[in-house]
Amino acid sequence: MDILLVGSGGREHALAWKIAQSPLCDKLYAAPGNAGIAQHAELVDIEADDIALLLRFVKRAGIDFVVVGPEAPLVGGLVDECRTAGVKAFGPDKAAAQLEGSKAFAKDIMRKHSVPTGGYQAFDRAEAAKGYVSDMQPPIVVKADGLAAGKGVVICNSHQEAGEWIDTMIIEGRFGSAGSRVVIEEFLPGEEASILAFTDGKTIATMPTSQDHKRAYDFDKGPNTGGMGAYSPAPVVSDTIYDQIEHDILIQTVHAMNIEGKPYRGVLYAGLMIEDDAPRVLEYNVRFGDPEAQPVLMRMRSDLLPVLLSTVDENLDEQEIEWDDRPAVCVVMASGGYPNSYKKGYPIEGIDEAEALGDVKVFHAGTAEADGQTVTNGGRVLGVTAMGDDLTAAIERAYEAVEKIHFQDAHYRRDIGAKALD
């Protein structure tokens, strides 16, 4: 079958790498893709959130299956449009994608259907939000309701700071319509982990756990980023907690969405905070995590494509998914300055040498091809991913690979996975 993959990050390179290995894949296109994805797919120059143009391409090229990587086209209704056009598409439709598209919607679902999460209240008016905050003990969590490219969450250490952020979002409109409503949340302490499951709305197939590193610098210092690295599995999730998450969170959420008349299909990602063996949901995402997808998909032994298709055809229960027991670690190499301003266009050297070490896959994120050279083209540039017999070996191999790769002003964290060794 002919497939269109939508997106251009490290997650999409990992998806392209897996999909291209499938005997079911005749031809793979990617829109807009990157230099790494171009090794597996023909690139199409359409942005991932341009639903009208994507749909036109799908019809013109006779695409059989659309795989959507990022959240924006899901929340924007690309899957609905494909369905109307008679084309299968992986991911939730617009109504179900509200689990990520609106934090208030997600919280309401959790409260109504007893999915464990922290207390909250949503507000459209700044004065009312500040009144609610005045009774809370800091830290206070202020979130823009809608999609804000990972920048719409602020942990405030005083009432004043919370008030200022409420004004920034609702009155000044920093995040546009995404911030015209805010969600004020109880601060949850603990250790974070991510858990993702495939679902066709009837069955779930839970993937191995993973953990992201959101801060820019070592020891979780510095500004929040899209994610500076990840490892899988996350030892904070014991077998007992894993079962609890499956039951009380993943299955419960899929049920809840059916009851609400918004059946959920695709990948459901629960971002969790775990304290005293009790997991609570921080947020849902309606897609694979980036960079979590890189180590998780590297551990997937089975063909990914039939699994993706089965979530659409509602026969996920017929799929046997095999995972490699060995841990995987992904170290993100970023452009100097990221997540603030940075330069693009620097040549990248050493990717082949890194992969030649064995058990290493270098997934491209912000890269492009210029004059026959791979160059930097984004904040997160590469996701250097390695497997090992144990976590220590995987970490060592990942950093050995990182040392082989060079581009000007490269920045990466040196402590990816260290927390899991403690």
User: Angle, nearest 10°, between helix axes 10-20 and 304-313?
Assistant: 100
* Range in contact with ligand GLY (rule: CB under 6 A) among 170-178, 236-244, 289-297, 374-382: 289-297
**From 81, 93, 145, 292, residue interacting with ligand GLY (rule: CB under 6 A):** 292
397 binds, among ligand AMP, ligand GLY, none (CB under 5 to 8 A by kind): none
Q: 229, exposed or middle or buried, with CB in 10 Å at 0-12, 13-18, 19+?
A: buried
The 357-396 contact track toward ligand AMP, x by CB under 6 A, reads: ----------------------------------------
Binding status of residue 73 toward ligand GLY by CB under 6 A: no
Min separation Cβ 194 and ligand AMP, Å = 9
Q: Using the minimum distance from each CB to ligand AMP, give the nearer residue, 285 or 311.
A: 285
* Range in contact with ligand GLY (rule: CB under 6 A) among 166-174, 285-293, 314-322, 358-366: 285-293
Size of the site for ligand GLY (CB under 6 A): 6
Torsion 318-95-100-63 (CA) sign: positive
Buried residues in 139-152 as b, exposed as e (16+ CB within 10 A): bbbbbbbbbbeebb
**From 28, 166, 249, 282, residue interacting with ligand AMP (rule: CB under 6 A):** 282
Q: 101, exposed or middle or buried, with CB in 10 Å at 0-12, 13-18, 19+?
A: buried
d(CA 420, CA 106): 29
Binding status of residue 303 toward ligand GLY by CB under 6 A: no
Of 357, 368, 295, 293, the C-alpha closest to 329 is: 295
Q: Using the minimum distance from each CB to ligand AMP, give the nearer residue, 31 or 188.
A: 188
The 230-269 contact track toward ligand GLY, x by CB under 6 A, reads: ----------------------------------------
Q: Using the minimum distance from each CB to ligand AMP, give the nearer residue, 58 or 136.
A: 136
292 binds, among ligand AMP, ligand GLY, none (CB under 5 to 8 A by kind): ligand GLY
Binding status of residue 271 toward ligand AMP by CB under 6 A: yes
**From 73, 227, 279, 339, residue interacting with ligand GLY (rule: CB under 6 A):** 227
188 binds, among ligand AMP, ligand GLY, none (CB under 5 to 8 A by kind): ligand AMP
Residues that bind ligand AMP (CB under 6 A): 118, 141, 153, 155, 185, 187-188, 192, 214, 271, 282-283
Residues that bind ligand GLY (CB under 6 A): 212, 227, 285, 289-290, 292
